[in-house]
Amino acid sequence: MASLILASNRLPIRILTDGSFERTTGGLASAIEGSGLDGKYTWVGWGGSCSEIGRSKSELKSSLRELGVEPVLLSEENISGYYDGYSNSTLWPLLHYMQDRARFKPEWIECYRSVNAQFADTIAEIASPNAHVWIHDYHLMLLPQLLREIRPDIKIGFFLHTPFPSSEIFRALPERDELLKGLLGCDLIGFHTYNYLRHFISSLIRILGVEADMDGLWQKKRHIQLGVYPIGHNSDGFQTAAKSENFVKMHSEHAKHLGAGKLILSVERLDYTKGLPQKLTAIRQFLHEHPEQRGLVHFVLVAVPSRRGVEEYDSLTAQVQCEVGAINGDYGDVGHSPVQFLHRSFQVDELAALYSLADICMVTPIVDGMNLVAKEFIDCKRASHRARPGVLILSEFAGAANEMSHALLVNPHDTAGVVKAINEALQMDEVDMWKRVHAMQNRLKLNDAGAWAKRYLSDLQKNTSCNHKGTIH
């Protein structure tokens, strides 16, 4: 039996088709790693498609249990409706204000309900009496209430890793009431910023007619606490990576290749919320206006493949590839292409080397719940990492902008403004760069990933609203 359970769509491990596993380095997994919990929890998540795995279900489950992992094995049909469909084609665009991209299909919500119910059954089975359960993200918004119905003794927390949009957007969702009621099964609901929390409160009143303030609300003698918990990056992970052999090797190889050139880096999942086409428009404009820079700048775009098979992602990939080719065709020269598009994932030590070397990091999403790249880049600007100073160009629409006012803040739709920021960053003197970097580092070190997880879990623990003897309605 488990007294602390984490639940998220993705597990901190990847199950390979032969049934073996490897650890993954996602934001949440590294946050939990840095929290000092030391494996004293069980992680419940989607374990991959059972039909693809060359091992029996029970064999797979028992070897995963030894690692503190409880997989929820889903059918192909459920994966498609719950993950590709409702989570990533309905909820994801809507939560990011992209109503025109959101698609609604009744069969998707059926799969979403069924998967959330499977998570509830799995957790109910393994949770010890009065256990604490911390649920993550938009894939599992029905889970809190479903779980409470089966196990009213459990203390339930939920954290949303995306923005919560204005109620005018959220109300477009046919299942808006059901999702809000699902979340109200919690004892504690957390968001990255005050704005997201404010929008959630407006949705409660406008959609359900339920009143709440910034601290929370009462539902039939039960207090549901609301709070703001901006997630931090995995500082320890990057500090360790910067001491690795591979870091040193990558650092010197890239430095040699750059020579006197300037590295303008961007790192993101290839997602339409990240504003890649807008960034490419700004890059094209910059190269057009500054012929003297064409041979000097290296725009390196790391775009990690994501959600392949979901229509919008496939067409965005093609669009970005085409525009990168066109820019290089227009502004490249023999031996130099100003834009390098790296469409693959990177190990943390290689990322740390790129962050450490980059003169500028462009983090310019259209909408982003937080964005940890901005924080990782600033953290890697340390003398011990052989870092060159650097400037962060940050979209004002990323949650991280609330904490990083020493970045050059831009509106990614304002091409002239982004071009101006690139120019300003290239001209900035080193003293000013370091001053800004240090100001941001001082703030970041107070709230790294581990501190974030600890703070949330301690509030969940302190929450005394849950009456374990069944007066919960």
Query: Which residue is closest to ligand G6P by CB?
Result: 161
End-to-end CA distance of the chain: 25
Residue 254 within binding range of ligand G6P, rule CB under 6 A = no
Does residue 162 touch ligand G6P according to CB under 6 A?
A: yes
- Give the chain's largest Cα–Cα span: 75
DSSP secondary structure letter of residue 39: T
Instruction: Report CA 66 to chain centroid distance, whole Å.
Output: 27
Among 132, 148, 155, 161, indicate the residue that binds ligand G6P (CB under 6 A). 161
Q: How far is the CB of 135 from ligand G6P (least distance, A)?
A: 12
Residue 319 Cβ, how far from ligand G6P at the closest point, in Å? 20
User: How far apart (Å, rounded) are the C-alpha atoms in residues 157 and 13?
Assistant: 22
The answer to whether 94 touches 102, Cβ cutoff 8 Å, is yes
Report the 10 Å Cβ neighbour count for 209: 7
Could you count the other beta carbons within 10 Å of the beta carbon of residue 331?
Answer: 22
Tokens 């965005």 map to which residue?
A: 316
Q: Smaller CB distance to ligand G6P: residue 162 or 395?
A: 162
352-383: b or e for each residue (b if 16 or more CB lie within 10 Å)?
A: bbbbbbbbbbbbbbbbbbbbbbbbbbbbbbee
Q: Is 463 in the site for ligand G6P (CB under 6 A)?
A: no
Question: For 415, how many CA atoms within 13 A lie in the half-sphere containing its CB?
Answer: 14
* Cβ closest to ligand G6P, residue 70 vs residue 271: 271
Q: 375 vs 381, which CB is nearer to ligand G6P? A: 375
* 132 in contact with ligand G6P (CB under 6 A): no
Footprint on residues 19-38 left by ligand G6P (CB under 6 A)? none
Q: Which two tokens stand for residue 233?
A: 């990056």
CA 48 to each of CA 15, 71, 412, 422: distance values in angstroms, whole numbers, following the listed order: 7, 8, 36, 42
For 89, residues 6+ apart whose C-beta sits below 8 A from its C-beta are: 102, 103, 108, 310, 311, 312
Assign residue 271 a region (left: φ > 0; alpha: ψ between -120 and 50; beta: otherwise).
Answer: beta
State the amino acid at position 374 in one-letter form: A
Identity of the residue, 161 or 262, whose beta carbon is nearer to ligand G6P in the bound complex: 161
Q: Site size for ligand G6P, by CB under 6 A? A: 6
- Least distance from ligand G6P to the Cβ atom of residue 159, Å: 10
Q: Which residue, 161 or 375, is less far from ligand G6P as judged by CB?
A: 161
**Binding map of ligand G6P across residues 291-310, x = CB under 6 A, - = no contact:** ---------------xx---
Q: Which of 33, 84, 137, 323 binds ligand G6P (CB under 6 A)?
A: 137
Min separation Cβ 144 and ligand G6P, Å: 16
What does the CA dihedral 384, 390, 396, 402 come to, rounded to 10 degrees? 30
Check binding of 10 to ligand G6P (CB under 6 A).
yes
Check if the beta carbon of residue 192 is closer than 8 Å to that of residue 370.
yes
CB of 370 to ligand G6P, least distance (A): 9
**C-beta closer to ligand G6P: residue 87 or 203:** 87
Question: Per the structure block, which two tokens stand in for 455?
Answer: 């703070």
> How does 85-110 read in b/e, with b if 16+ C-beta sit within 10 Å?
bbbbbbbbbbbbbbeebbeeeeebbb
Closer CB to ligand G6P, residue 7 or residue 422? Answer: 7
- How many residues comprise the chain? 473
Judged by CB, which is closer to ligand G6P: 7, or 60? 7
Query: Which residue, 55, 60, 57, 64, is CA-closest to 23?
Result: 64
Active site residues: 161, 368
Interatomic CA distance for residues 252 and 267, integer angstroms: 20
Q: Measured from the CB atom, is 141 or 387 closer to ligand G6P?
A: 141
Minimum CB separation of residue 91 from ligand G6P in Å reads: 10
Enumerate binding residues for ligand G6P (CB under 6 A): 10, 137, 161-162, 306-307
